[in-house]
Amino acid sequence: MERIYVFDTTLRDGEQVPGCQLNTIEKIQIAQALELLGVDVIEAGFPVSSPGDFNSVVEISKAVTWPTICALTRAVEKDIEVAAEALKYAKRKRIHTGIGTSDSHIKHKFNSNREEILERAVKAVKYARNFVDDVEFYAEDAGRTDNEYLAKVVQAVVNAGATVINIPDTTGYCFPDEYGAKIKYLIDNVDLKNAILSTHCHQDLGMATANTLSGVINGARQVEVTINGIGERAGNTSLEEVVMALRSHKDRGFDTNINSQHIYSTSRLVSSLMNMPVQPNKAIVGRNAFAHSSGIHQDGVLKNVETYEIINPKDVGIDDNAIVLTARSGRAALKNRLSVLGVKLESAELDKVYEKFLNLADRKKSINDDDILMLVGKEARLNRIKVDYLQVVCGIGVRDVASIGLNIAGEHFEATASGNGPVDAAIRAVKSIIRREMKIQEFLIQAIDRGSDDIGKVHMQVEHNDIVYYGFAANTDIVAASVEAFIDAVNKFVE
């Protein structure tokens, strides 16, 4: 089997999704999960972009042992210097530098010409080689770059010392045959020496996985992916889809170093920490990925599972015989399930989560993985403003009124307000205490599973001083979840 290297950019390209930003501790947690998963390269961030990103690359470099740690830069000397400094603790380090190569980028983004872009590309690679031996070059918008000029750029940066050449379909524009032909053209027309080609495909037209696989078939030996396919706009290529597609088609002769049994736990961890639910019909890791509702399908699966399942759920870490958690479950059962989901808690933290677990289990008939991860995430948040109590009166023919008590940095405040429904009344009461100009831009309610006793997730965008802040909460009481999501956003801008 020919080895395909997995370059994970969940912590860089994936984290660029609005509302999904992580702190350094959360990034380290995901990086360690990616190491356990078996990814070859972790793109840890864009160090020059912010002190937080710089610090995250430093700390991830310390926390992770064997994967290569990669830092993104532009073709700018200062970027490269800062990236090199951020990578100083990495056991294996890579600088990922590059520049746009399509005529659209050259003209409109850089107001430049092809010759100057080529010179800047070569200069950036040569400068990066002063700091590290492993330099990856990205030709941004390669999907819309004509092949002849692209080959010229690739040859020049390989000659300058690039070890990996990233061919991004930045806008998700290419068809699979077109992208595959582009990779083959480079294989046939460039002396790559010891360098390899890498795919980096986006999902704008829904073809990221197909384009990535086409790239592999035509000669690319590294794939750039994210967990759950998260990323800017419509997202990036999904790690789990590419890995399991290659594994399901072993006759093609390709495989990765990924330990697929950790796919599901890593998926849930990323979903929880980034507050980004996985759609139920998502391939490999969605709630319905191995569900069968059709009578004909159920009959076939009962007779032979391979009639409708090409992947064994256990191969991706989904145990169809998992322990069912209820109010009678003990700490050991909860700790075991958290371990399966990739979450490790100290004894004191486990006690707090277990207490919340029992309270939730008393209200729900069954506890699922999303419920557990929600409890962990909720316990982890340290907010300046907290809800002491919330009482709502609502119904048909009565006035909707909410009374709320808030703890703000140790001081207690109370307010009552009426509104157009219980959620509006409760949020008006919060606003009367906080007294800031704020406007809700987006308000999304989503059930984790189904049923009237289920937990509801609320995602909210709140504008304050022309800046949008993102709030998230989950609760079996949707009014409480809405208030908690609003306060979660307020906590991010309150002084």
**Per the structure block, which two tokens stand in for 381?**
């948040």
Instruction: Write the DSSP assignment of 176-217 as a string of letters.
Output: HHHHHHHHHHHHHHS--TT-EEEEEEB-TTS-HHHHHHHHHH
What three-state secondary structure class fits 311? coil
Both tokens assigned to 345 = 């808690």
CB under 8 Å, gap of 24 or more: what pairs does 399-404 form?
400/424, 400/425, 401/425, 402/426, 402/428, 402/429, 402/479, 403/429, 404/429, 404/430, 404/433, 404/483
The answer to whether the annotation marks 13 as part of a ligand binding site is yes
User: Is 137 within 8 Å of 101 (Cβ atoms)?
Assistant: no
Residue 24 CA from chain centroid, whole number:
14
Q: Which residues of 461-490 are buried (b: 16+ CB within 10 A; e: fewer)?
A: bbbbeeeebbbbbbbbebbbbbbbbbbbbb
- Is 96 annotated in some ligand binding site? no
Q: Where are the beta strands (DSSP E) in 46-88?
A: 68-72
Please provide the distance, in angstroms rounded to a whole number, between the alpha carbons at the two ends of the chain: 56
Spatial CB neighbours of 489, under 8 Å, sequence gap ≥ 6? 460, 461, 462, 469, 470, 471
Tokens standing for 103?
Answer: 């005529």
Phi, psi for 475 (deg, rounded to 5): -165, 155
Query: Per the structure block, which two tokens stand in for 86?
Result: 């951020």
Per-residue tokens: 258: 């990924």
For the CA atoms of 162, 168, 170, 176, the dihedral, rounded to the nearest 10 degrees, stands at 170
Q: Tell whether residue 108 is among the known ligand binding residues.
A: no
* Separation CA 239–CA 226 (nearest Å): 5
The answer to whether the beta carbons of residues 54 and 67 sit under 8 Å apart is: no
Tokens of 244: 């399991």
Q: Is 236 marked as binding a ligand?
A: yes
**Residue ranges of the binding site:** 13, 200, 202, 236
Binding-site residue numbers for Mn(2+) are 13, 200, 202, 236
